Structures are given as structure tokens and as C-alpha cells.
Structure 1
Amino acid sequence: MAIIRINDINDDRVELFTKYNEAQLYHYFEPKGGAFIAETPEVIKRALDRGAEPLAFLVEEKAFESDVVQSLLRDYLEEIDVFIAQLNVINKITGFNLTRGVLAACKRPNLPEAGDLLAGARRVAILEDVMNPTNVGAIFRSAAALGIEAIFLTHPSADPFYRRAARVSMGTVFQVPWTYFIKDSDYMNTLHEAGFSVVSMALKEGAIPLSAPELKAQEKLAVVFGTESTGIKDETIAKSDFVSIIPMHNEVDSLNVAAASAVTFWELCK
């Protein structure tokens, strides 16, 4: 390991933090996976505990000596480069004021197979084309807090390891088991074959309230949330066992998908 001082964001030695956008990082090691950037000690610790392999750390100068950062780096000080820079330099990289003082570039851990996650779960969430990283991160945080055992995403959905999603989730994207369904696969069939009943959260005529006892009675239940703009696909709803809504007041028709997920997880997992 080397401790290296950086004074310029154009220094090639920190190009992982500066040169690549998140889509490019996703393919950084193709065909053997990619990389991602994690920020704040709590998020980074959860990423490392999840099995992500660190490639380098970028630490704000004043934060480097703190007990929190030293504890985070302790197991890697002999093998991973640690770049140190003043806060104004790091802020040029992140685009905002980095208050917790540390970034980590990591290799992406391998994702499990969907069937393996379904085999051991009773309550799971499906994100169908949820493309806003903030919403994805918030859904993961609610899932971790309220008892969802796994999350499955369709490929248009935002990557949970994107920096914003991981930050909003408080690192729980590295705690809640998750994976993508095979692109363009019939994931509803996959869920049914694994013994799950499926409920789509959609504003449709005939939808039952979330508190309906038949939902809680299901031994295995998968809850589908749709894209922020158009909702769940019609073909998904047609194949669902249930369609449900959260009853609203004051002529509000629905909640943001992140808020709706928290209410749904609380009701169906308690």
C-alpha cells in the first residue's frame, strides 16, 4: 500500500474516481464484471462486509486521522492504495460537499441467481423498470428495515450499486440480497414456479386494499412496484394473483414509489 497525496483531480492515479461515469464503471472489467464507487464510512463498511473487493480509497485530508476512517482502513493498509486530498479537491470529484470524508472504488461482487434467492425467502419485492436511483435506494432502506428478504430488478431499473442509490439506502443495498432477472425473461413465471403469489401495486379497478387478509395469508408473497412514469406493465398485472392499492385521502391518488414501498412492507411483513 502507498499513501499518496493528490492535489489535482486530473491526476491519472485517481482516474477510477474521476474519469468514468457509473455506466462505464459497470463495465470496467468486462467480461469479468465492473466497479463502483461507494462513499461515507457506513456505506463503504457495508459494501466491504458484502464481499466487495476494494481497489483504492480516496480520503479527505482531515478525515484520514479520524478513528472512524482509520478503523475502516485498518484491514487494507498493507495492500490498497490510499489517496489523500483536501476537501476542495474531493468536492470537485463528487460534485457536492463530501461531509464524511472518504470514497472507495471497489470491484462489483457477483450477484446470486434469482432461483437461489427465491428458494429461501417468503417476502420479496420486485422493481419493474424503477429507473430513479434515489427511489431504488429508498426502497432498499425500507426493505432492510421492515423485513423484505430479497429484491429483484428488471434490467431497465437503476443499478442499486450506483453511488446515489447506495448513499440513499444508507448502504443497505449491500445488506438486502438482490439480483436482476434475466433480461426479457418471463419473471412472473419464475415467481410462480418458485411457489410465490404475486401482488402488483397498481391503481386499477377492482384492486383490493393493502390490508386485505388474503394478502397476509399468503405463505410466499412477491410485491411488484412499477416505473415512476407509467406504473406496472399491463402484462404483469394480467399475470398477477392480486392487484392492491394503498387507500388514499384528500383526493391524493397515490404515493411516490419509495413511500409506497415503505407502507407496503410494513403492512405485509409485520
Structure 2
Amino acid sequence: MVNKLKLEELNRIDIKTFKKVEKIPLIVILDNIRSMHNVGATFRTADAFLVEKIILCGITPQPPHREIHKAALGATESVDWSHEADINTTIDTLRKDGYEIVGIEQTTDSVMITDFEINRTKKYAIILGNEVEGISDEALQNIDTFLEIPQLGTKHSLNVSVCGGIVMWEFAKVLK
């Protein structure tokens, strides 16, 4: 008979240990995200995959907030984060620090994520854009690479936090 594992059987690390564990060289930038659920869910996924940091840009809501916490379930305490008003300042700083800037967006230059070779010797910053408008126009021209997730159905996009989860997993598989 199969039984579900109890929480104490999962052997998860505590926040203090999490802070000391080596993270993957991946930063997630949320560009003008409106939904607190998307913000919270992104934190929770970033915790699961040991993402280095989340940067909240523009109008993206910031913790602490009850609605973010509902989806994050405490991950706002474990995952490092900051808020930056201007996304291009953020991009420029990260690029100077050696990060490749990757926009998750359907563009004339986008590459399917399945065709993109993640280099384990590089550091990456991925940008997830607004639920309706995508990545802001002011940031679009300042991005090194655009990745797109293949979609086979009738819809033209995925929810931001779902998209983020897929992309973080693809990077974590290689970078961990």
C-alpha cells in the first residue's frame, strides 16, 4: 500500500539553513506584475529550486502582504528579494555583475526553451512580464535573449507563475 509522506518525513531544511545553502545562479525579475498570487507563487517556486534572488520591479506588489503570503506560504522569508523602481537600472546592474538577461516573452527573436542551451558556467536573470502587457517596452530592447515555452493548444499564453515555474525548473535542472 502507498502512503503519502507526512511533513516531518519530507526532511526539508529550515529557513536558517536555507539562507546558508548554495543557490543556483539564477535571479528572477518580476516586471510590473499585478497579481499578488503570481508574486507569492513565484516566491514559493523560487524556494523550491534554490533560486538566488527575486527582484520586484515597477508596480509589482511587495511582501509583507496577506495575499502574497497565501501563495508563498513563508517563502518570502526564505528567498532573498528586493524592490527596484526601474527595470533598466536593474538589468544594467545585473549585466555588469555578469548575468545574461533572459526575457520570457514571445517575440520576433524568441527561441523555444527546448532549443536553448543553458550553460552551467553562466549566471542568468530571467524576466517575467505583466499578465496582460508582458515585458515592459522600456526593458524589451535591453534583453540579451528571449525564450518562449512551446504551447500546443489554443491559448496564446500561460499564467505568469506557471510560466515562471516551468522556466525555473528548466534552469534548475542544469544549474544545480
> Normalised by the shorter chain, which TM-score bucket?
0.7 to 0.9
Question: Per the alignment, in what secondary structure is the counterpart of residue 82 of structure 2?
Answer: strand
Is 2:171 the counterpart of 1:263?
no
Task: State whether residues 27 and 53 of structure 2, in contact with CA within 8 Å, keep that contact through their aligned partners in structure 1.
Answer: yes
Identify which of 106, 124, 131 aligns with 2:27. 124
Match of 2:62 in 1: 159
Is 2:107 the counterpart of 1:179?
no
Q: CA deviation at 1:216?
A: 3.9
Q: Deviations over 1:114-163 (max 9, x none)?
A: xxxxxx86111000111211110011111111231110011310113211
Match of 2:114 in 1: 211
Match of 2:138 in 1: 235
Structure-to-structure mapping, 1:33-112, within 5 angstroms: none
> Between Structure 1 and Structure 2, whose CA radius of gyration is higher?
1
Distance 1:206-1:251 versus aligned 2 partners, 3 A rule: farther
Paired with 1:214 and 1:231, the residues of 2 have a C-alpha distance of: 23
Q: Gapped runs of 5+ residues in structure 1?
A: 1-48, 51-119
Q: CA deviation at 1:209?
A: 1.1
Distance 1:269-1:201 versus aligned 2 partners, 3 A rule: same
Identity percentage of aligned residues? 28
Equivalent pairs counted in the alignment come to 152
TM-score by length of 2: 0.79
Task: State whether residues 62 and 83 of structure 2, in contact with CA within 8 Å, keep that contact through their aligned partners in structure 1.
Answer: no
Distance 1:142-1:177 versus aligned 2 partners, 3 A rule: same
Q: Gapped runs of 5+ residues in structure 2?
A: 1-14, 17-22
Paired with 2:90 and 2:126, the residues of 1 have a C-alpha distance of: 13
Match of 1:9 in 2: none
Paired with 1:212 and 1:124, the residues of 2 have a C-alpha distance of: 21
Distance 1:240-1:210 versus aligned 2 partners, 3 A rule: same
Question: Per the alignment, in what secondary structure is the counterpart of residue 51 of structure 2?
Answer: coil
Q: Which has the higher contact order (CA 8 A, sep 6+)?
A: 2
Question: Per the alignment, in what secondary structure is the counterpart of residue 179 of structure 1?
Answer: strand
Distance 1:207-1:187 versus aligned 2 partners, 3 A rule: same
Q: CA deviation at 1:165?
A: 0.3
Task: State whether residues 38 and 161 of structure 2, in contact with CA within 8 Å, keep that contact through their aligned partners in structure 1.
Answer: yes
Is 2:126 the counterpart of 1:220?
no
Question: Per the alignment, in what secondary structure is the counterpart of residue 122 of structure 1?
Answer: strand
Task: State whether residues 199 and 242 of structure 1, in contact with CA within 8 Å, keep that contact through their aligned partners in structure 2.
Answer: yes
Paired with 2:119 and 2:149, the residues of 1 have a C-alpha distance of: 14
Q: Deviations over 1:162-212 (max 9, x none)?
A: 11101211110111000112x336221111111100000111122101133
> Aligned letter for 2:28?
A
TM-score by length of 1: 0.53
Match of 1:144 in 2: 47
Task: State whether residues 24 and 172 of structure 2, in contact with CA within 8 Å, keep that contact through their aligned partners in structure 1.
Answer: no
Paired with 1:159 and 1:172, the residues of 2 have a C-alpha distance of: 13
Paired with 1:235 and 1:215, the residues of 2 have a C-alpha distance of: 26
Distance 1:225-1:191 versus aligned 2 partners, 3 A rule: same
Paired with 1:205 and 1:158, the residues of 2 have a C-alpha distance of: 30
4+ long deviations beyond 6 Å? none
